[in-house]
Structure 1
Amino acid sequence: MVNKRRRLNYILRLLLVFLGMHVVWYVAYLLVHHPMLPSPLEVYQAMGHLGGRDIVLNVGYSLMRIFAGVLLALIVGLLIGLLMGRSALWNKLLDPVVYLTYPVPKIALLPVVMLFFGLGETSKILMIMLILLFQIIISVRDGVKAIPANTYDVLTSIGAGPGQKFWHVTLPGALSVILSTIRISLGTAISVLFFTEIYGTEHGMGFFIMDAWLRLDYPQMYAGILLFSLVGFVLFLLVDLLDYRFMKWRR
């Protein structure tokens, strides 16, 4: 009963913020009074006129690139982070590499990645992976190192093997920080995806928004921005759902 009430209150707060943002938008529309800022009603009408195939195609391409980039970052980042967290030798060897490359602004690498991998899907997915990779490595390493050693001792005393220790202690400890890192980094990854979709593609929300802007179709441009924002919001909810499903011990 308490959990249901909390969820209801959370949904109500989201709706209030959503309505408040639209009120601010409408006031700005009245003050600016220019075609470059259409009213919320015009934008939603433009969204209603979009073909279902166009929406599915553009949103589908963007989601595919995001999921592929996140999956690659998770696989590589989890392996390296676990290795650094469990081995003092590997942490000593890889720590300088991570700290020297992490501060490099990843968006500045976009021309380099496109030079080496072209304008196709590979460069777009790699850019998303690069955004998330180093944060996952550092978070997983720190999360694993923060697990008390006596936790493993308890499992050893009851005869648990390395696989059981990994599954019941190391992975939950790493998963907690992974989900927090993805939640923080997802907005940046989506922003980078927007830039990558401007080049060498005919599908994706970034392409859709820029195409509408170049055609001076401002209602459709804002409709694309709203759809892109909805994609980000759904991904945030998905991370929260994974957190709720796998991190029950934190509650």
Structure 2
Amino acid sequence: MNKVLKYLLSLIIVVFLWWLAALIISSKILPLPIEVFEAVVELKSELLFHMLASLKRIIFGVGSALIIAVPFGLIIGRFKSLDKYLSPFIYLAYPVPKIAFLPIVLLFFGLGDLSKVFLIAIIVFFQILVHTRDAAKSIDPELILSVKSLGVSKTQLFWHLILPASLPRVFTAIRISLGTAVAVLFFTETFATFEGLGFFIMDTWTRVNYSEMFAGIMALSFLGLILFLFVDFVERIFCPWIFLNDPENKV
């Protein structure tokens, strides 16, 4: 089945279940899908404005984490001595609920975008770091020896084996971090800002306008979908070998 048809079928099923739940509950708290769609059309310009504000924060937050975490993770994964000494610090820092440091982050970086971007970056950093490190560590040693026997340099070994072999799990880490980033984004946008979908959703909630609130939730879901599809697209460019047996690639 064509991928577009799969998404369309999924959307139809979700809308149908939503419509059914709205009829059963019969409350303003859960408006009918048609009411929300009308709100989306009516507020399309405002929703687009808030989506772009949220998108900017996610891109800068996740992008900053990627730039640091991926090379750092590859280095730790390939050097056992570094992994031995740094892993305890990573394991201590990773489980800490960094969202609890929000007041401190605000004191250091202020109420603007920088504090929101920093919080997203520091939270997803460890997710990407651990996945990248594990990917680099899990490369078959015999494969590395085979490539080394060809007389390649360390730089060639990195670019032609270590990095390509680690990329699929790096993209998995990116997907996980995007889901986390959207959740963190919503929380950070509920205060000290007048831009972003988190602000829009909470603002409509306080005004008891549930149709517009669900329109904001739909926009946030759509933003997440676009980001995931973009990651899939980029992965197909940089990791084409993992899609060779994908039925959708066959005519």
Task: Give TM-score scaled by structure 2 length.
Answer: 0.91
Say which is worse superposed, 171-180 or 218-227, in terms of deviation. 171-180
Q: 2:51 aligns with which of 59, 75, 81?
A: 59
- Per the TM alignment, residue 106 of structure 1 is displaced from its structure 2 partner at its CA by 2.7
| 1:17 partnered with 2:16 | no
Q: Distance in 2 between matches of 1:138 and 1:202?
A: 34
Judge conservation of contact 2:40–2:47 (CA < 8 Å) in 1: no
The residue aligned with 1:116 is: 108
Query: Residue 6 of structure 2 aligns to which amino acid in structure 1?
Result: R
- Per the TM alignment, residue 130 of structure 1 is displaced from its structure 2 partner at its CA by 2.0
- Per the TM alignment, residue 51 of structure 1 is displaced from its structure 2 partner at its CA by 4.6
Q: Distance in 2 between matches of 1:239 and 1:163?
A: 26
| 1:71 partnered with 2:95 | no
- Unpaired runs of 5+ residues, structure 1, are 1-5
Q: How does 1:126-145 map to 2 (within 5 A)?
A: 126-145=118-137
Give the 4+ runs in structure 1 shifted more than 6 A.
none
% identical aligned pairs: 43
- Unpaired runs of 5+ residues, structure 2, are 245-251
Q: How does 1:1-251 map to 2 (within 5 A)?
A: 6=1, 8=2, 10-52=3-45, 54-250=46-242, 251=244
Q: Distance in 2 between matches of 1:70 and 1:218?
A: 31
- Per the TM alignment, residue 70 of structure 1 is displaced from its structure 2 partner at its CA by 0.9
Query: Residue 28 of structure 1 aligns to which amino acid in structure 2?
Result: A
Say which is worse superposed, 17-26 or 39-48, in terms of deviation. 17-26
- Per the TM alignment, residue 44 of structure 1 is displaced from its structure 2 partner at its CA by 0.6
Judge conservation of contact 2:57–2:117 (CA < 8 Å) in 1: yes
Count of aligned pairs: 243
- Per the TM alignment, residue 123 of structure 1 is displaced from its structure 2 partner at its CA by 1.3
The residue aligned with 2:247 is: none
Query: Residue 38 of structure 2 aligns to which amino acid in structure 1?
Result: Q
Q: Distance in 2 between matches of 1:29 and 1:138?
A: 42
SS of 1:79 mapped into structure 2: helix
Q: Distance in 1 between matches of 2:78 and 2:199?
A: 43
Q: Distance in 2 between matches of 1:100 and 1:56?
A: 40
- Per the TM alignment, residue 222 of structure 1 is displaced from its structure 2 partner at its CA by 0.7
Q: Distance in 1 between matches of 2:44 and 2:179?
A: 27
Judge conservation of contact 2:105–2:119 (CA < 8 Å) in 1: yes
Q: Distance in 2 between matches of 1:127 and 1:195?
A: 10
- Per the TM alignment, residue 55 of structure 1 is displaced from its structure 2 partner at its CA by 2.8
The residue aligned with 1:3 is: none
Query: Residue 162 of structure 1 aligns to which amino acid in structure 2?
Result: K
Query: Residue 104 of structure 2 aligns to which amino acid in structure 1?
Result: V
Deviations 1:196-232 (A, max 9, x none): 0112111111111111111222111111110110000
SS of 2:192 mapped into structure 1: coil
Say which is worse superposed, 143-152 or 227-236, in terms of deviation. 143-152
Task: Give TM-score scaled by structure 1 length.
Answer: 0.91
Q: Distance in 1 between matches of 2:75 and 2:44?
A: 48
Query: Residue 236 of structure 2 aligns to which amino acid in structure 1?
Result: Y
